Each structure stands twice: as C-alpha cells, then as structure tokens.
Amino acid sequence: MEHRGAKLSVVVEGAGPPVLMIPSLGRGPSDFDELARDLVGKGYTAVRYEPRWFGASRGPERATLDDLAADARAVATASCPDQPVVIIGHALGNRIARAMAAADPRHTTSIILLAAGGQVPIPPEIQQAISVSAAEGRLPNSERLAALKLAFFAPGQNARSWLTGWNPRAAELQARAVTATASRDWITAGGVPLFIIQPTRDPVAPVANGEALIAQYPGPAVMVALDHASHAILPEQPDAISALVAAWLMGERKAGRLQQISDEWTVQP
C-alpha cells in the first residue's frame, strides 16, 4: 500500500477483531510470527507490516515519530476499514503505537506495550550494545552476539535467534525520526486502555519504565512483570505473551489475575 510517499508491505491474516502489531527498532514483522498464528487461531485478524525502510517497504528518509504513526494508522485503515484496532507495540513500536492512538483515539480499542521504554535513560554501554546488535552485515557476528546478550536477552536465553532479522539502515532512520519529534503529546496515547508487559531483566527498558508510565498515564492502565525475559521479549517468552495478550483481548483487566497468568506461563531457561 502507498501512504504519503511511503510504500508499505502489509500482511493480513485471519478474520475477526483486528490486532495491529508494530515491531521494534530495526526489526520487522517476523518477530510477531508466533503471536500472529496464535491470534488467528483464536479468531482475530493479525495485521503486520514492514515499516518504511525495512524489507520491501520504502519512504522518505526524513520522518518524525508522527509520520511513522501515520503509516501505522494507514495500514490499519486499509486492512480493516471502519474497525477500531488493538495495537501491540514492541520496544520502539510502543512509541509508534502511542503516537497513533494519541492522534486519533477513536480508532484504537486498546494498546498492549511490550518492553516499553522512554521513561528511564539508557546507560551509554547499553546504547552502544543496541547499535552493535543492529549492525547485521556490518560487524562480525561474534561482536554482535555479545552485544545481543548484554542489551536484549536474559541469561540462558538464545541470543543467536536475533543475529538475523535486522535492517541497520532502518534502525538509524527510525532513531532519527524519534529525535526529530518535537511534540511529546504521543506519551498520553489518547488515554485509551493500556496494558504493559514489562520484562524484569531488561536494561533498555527496566520495570521502572513501566511503573513511571503507569503513574502518569491519563487513562486506565495495567502492568505486569514478565520474568526470565529482557528487551527481546517475543522470542524469549512467546507462550507467556500469547497467554497474556489473549486474556487482555478477552476482557481481563485485573492486574492480579494478569500477573498470575504471566507467572504461570513464564518458562525458565
């Protein structure tokens, strides 16, 4: 599909209430493969796309977070006309998800954030590890693997699973889009219901990020802590995420029950 000079590659699967999934910095929709299959099996429409500059998608190199959010909204509108969506945003995707909802909350049912950052500063060594991790094809895999273990994966998890699937140019341009965004109105996400799944071993977005976001959020919000997971939360604890997302979509809003589900489904490596 085309939108404001961007050409976006979109995948729509299933039938039922739509769920839009937005990937993390420099990564694409394949990170949501397992979750998408699970949602389709439960009767939902899974909507995924390659952000501009990733894979087959293209777009102007100058952009802001608002532009990336407009891309996401255009994907949702084209894929599921006249239907409000649930948005799932992972890492950078959490900012895009909130910006999309803030721009027009009427079209967003709720938001699920995975490893939501932006409230607590990232230590310089972790910031460097993120850049090294994303440098697929530019740096040796041995160097990148060490960085992945530091910034993205909890002890015992398979960091090699993320040696591939990166687009370093997309990561650089997405980072610039965030810093080029003057307004911070996106933080409020329009006050739509918010569910945060925050990994406990994440140096990029520690639990304090989710706690700070909950404290200042203007609408209903719930957070659970997910153990044995870091910033690469999707490949680390796929079953727990699927169970939590399903519970939320089916109407569970009690923090205690959601935390119980998180604890029950978490797998220790």
Higher per-residue confidence, 181 vs 22: 22
Whole-structure pTM over 0.75, yes or no? yes
Give the contacts of 201 (CB within 8 A, at least 6 positions apart): 154, 155, 227, 228, 229, 230
Mean pLDDT of 151-161: 98
Burial tier of 37 (Cβ tally within 10 Å: 0-12, 13-18, 19+): middle
Q: What type of residue is 63?
A: A
Task: Give residue 265's pLDDT.
Answer: 98
pLDDT range class, residue 183, cuts 50, 70, 90 = confident
Domain ranges of the chain: 2-265
- From CA 9, how far away is CA 229, in angstroms rounded? 29
Which class does domain 2-265 fall in? alpha beta
What mean pLDDT comes out for the span 189-210? 96
Q: 115: alpha, beta or left, given left = phi > 0 and alpha = psi -120 to 50?
A: left
pLDDT of residue 36: 98
In the chain, % of residues over pLDDT 90: 92
Q: What pLDDT does residue 3 have?
A: 81
pLDDT of residue 61: 87
In angstroms, the CA 170 to CA 134 distance is 10
pLDDT value of residue 212: 92
The answer to whether residue 82 scores a pLDDT higher than 90 is no
H or E element that contains 194: strand 194-199
What percentage of the chain reaches a pLDDT higher than 70? 100
Q: Beta partners for 89? A: 22, 113
Mean pLDDT, residues 97-110: 95
